Each structure stands twice: as structure tokens, then as C-alpha cells.
Amino acid sequence: MTGRTFLLLAVMTALFGALGFALAGQQGMLIAFLIAATMNFFAYWTSDTMVLSMHHARPLDPASAPDLYQIVAGLAQRAQIPMPKLYVMYEAQPNAFATGRSPEKGVVAVTSGLLDLLDRDEVAAVIAHEIAHIKNRDTLTMTVTATLAGAIGMLANFATFLTPSNREREGGIGGLGALLLMILAPLMAMLVQMAISRTREYEADATGAAVCGNPEALARALQKIEAYAQGRVNLTAERNPASAHVFIHNPLSGAGADSLFSTHPATKNRVAKLMALVPSLTRPASAGSPWRKSAGSEAPRTRRPWG
């Protein structure tokens, strides 16, 4: 976990504590936290099956995609994590996501559009980004964040059922101060949650670039994904907008980036950070690299590099 993520989580925790004592006292804070923790623990434990089912992802086996499997296996080895399970979503919009409650339960899912529209190095770079999420245990980080944000929202809802005398008896505040906290605290929690999500994307870009050794390929992939996503609506994602944050690029049409209410950084900012890594991370392709072919060994253009 980076220092920025830790700081944002500390802000969220402080906000939860202040709101709990101010509105509902220690007992109300404990109840809200327990309810939110229970809900999000269930979501954390079943996150992989839920999101895969939600997006109609289908498992890929080594026989159907041997080259893609070789790429994933090589990147997982470099990242020092177990080989994740591999899934495909038959969706024209290029995109990908990672899930799984631990590196041992890691899953990488890619769309058919990503495989059709990106070249071999770019596909490998995108997968490296997703492997970085698994390596960095971002599912756990976002579950903790969601628990705190959910608890803050519940506290605000609980407070609407408390009279001023109830709040004062519980050690809380009354009047205008309570009203402002009920409105502003959930909004602030959502903003912090979005900021943590954007921070984790930047960190996965940096880690993924280090894993594949090709930040330029990841930068090109992000630019292509953004360009190709225009005009290719992901209807499944539109029907399930709560899952948008797991993708490498926001799959929702009309979604902004790098705003206070965005889960993803702007592509141009991600590209700039990746290009700054080029001098220190780029290395020549080697014959043993599972994500690059040696010179003259590229498959014909009519054959995709993952089949």
C-alpha cells in the first residue's frame, strides 16, 4: 500500500470516527461499522464469482489460447504470484479487469475486443496491469474502503431517526451541526473512496510497467482502449455501473476521468506517468521473454497472438 493510499484511508477512518461520535455516539458508531463490515466481508469473499457472472465471463483453457496463457504465466512468474485464472468476456469494447480475494485466488478477465484490437505487447502490458492489482491486493484495499464509506453512510441514515435529545444523550451534537454532518460526511467519504480508486490505478500502472518492462506498450494500450471504447457501448457494464471501478478503463459511456467523482485517472495523465518510467524500466526483448517474440518470429497479421 502506498503512502497516499494509507493517508486517504486514515482520512476515511478519522471521518468515520468523528461522525460516529458526533451523531450517534460510540454505540451507534459500533453498530454502523459492524453492519457495513458484515456486508462488505460477504462481498469480498464472493467478489470474484459475482463480477465474473455479472459480466458473463467464460473461462479460457490453455488449449484454446496457448499463447495468451504463456504470456500470463510469464508475467505472473515475474510478479512472483501464482498463475491467475483466465477469463474472456465476449464484448466488443476493449477492456480488462482483475479480481480475487488474494493472489492465490487471482482472476484476470479480458474482453474479446481487447484481444482483437491490441497487439501482443499491448495485451501483455494490460495483463501486467491487472496482475499488479492482484499483487498489490487492491481487492482488499477497496473492500476496507467500501466498509468505511458504507459505515459512514449508515451513520448518517441512523442519525435521521435520532431526535436532538437522543443525540445529546449519546454524546453527539444536535441542530444545524448534525444536519451538515449528515449531508457532507457521506459526500466526503465518496470523494475519498474515488480518490483511493484513482490512486490504485496509478500504482497498478507503475507496478504493471515494471512487471512487463514495457511502459510504452501500456501507454499505447491505454490510448487505444480509450479511442476504441468510443462508439462501443458495454451494455452489461451500463446495467451494472457499480462494477465499473474494477476495469482498467471506465467502461461507462460519458464517464469523466480525474474529476472528484471519477474512479479512473485521465488517460493522458496515466500516459505521461508511464512515459516518465521509460528510461528506467524499458529493457530489450529476450528470447526467453514469454510476452515478446524475437525478431522475425511474429505470427502473420491474420493470426492473432493469443490463439
Tens-level pLDDT at each residue, the chain (307 residues): 567 777 877 877 777 777 776 666 677 677 777 777 777 677 667 777 888 998 999 999 899 899 999 999 999 999 999 999 999 999 999 999 999 888 999 999 999 999 999 999 999 999 999 999 999 999 888 877 877 777 787 777 766 665 455 545 444 555 566 677 777 777 888 888 888 889 999 999 999 999 999 999 999 999 999 999 887 889 898 888 878 888 999 998 755 555 667 889 999 999 999 999 998 886 655 434 444 443 334 444 434 545 5
Closest C-alpha to 211, from 74, 107, 118, 104: 74
Confidence (pLDDT) at 96 = 96
Name the strand (E) or helix (H) holding 165: helix 164-169
DSSP annotation of 98: E
Asked if residue 168 belongs to a known ligand binding site, the reply is: no
Closest C-alpha to 84, from 94, 93, 95, 96: 96
On the CB side of 174, how many CA atoms lie within 13 Å of its CA? 10
Q: Could you give the CA distance from residue 178 to residue 158 in angstroms, rounded to a whole number?
A: 12
Asked if residue 216 belongs to a known ligand binding site, the reply is: no
Rounded to two decimals, what is the model's pTM?
Answer: 0.80
E-strand ranges in 56-183 read: 58-59, 85-89, 96-99, 107-111
Would you please indicate which residues are annotated as catalytic (active-site) residues?
Answer: 130
Asked if residue 129 belongs to a known ligand binding site, the reply is: yes
Cell readout for 33 is 461499522
pLDDT tens, residue by residue, 243-296: 888 899 999 875 555 566 788 999 999 999 999 999 888 665 543 444 444 333
Q: ∠ CA(236), CA(240), CA(242), 5° rounding?
A: 140
Q: Could you give the CA distance from residue 13 to residue 6 in angstroms, rounded to a whole number?
A: 10
Confidence (pLDDT) at 104 = 93
Confidence (pLDDT) at 294 = 36
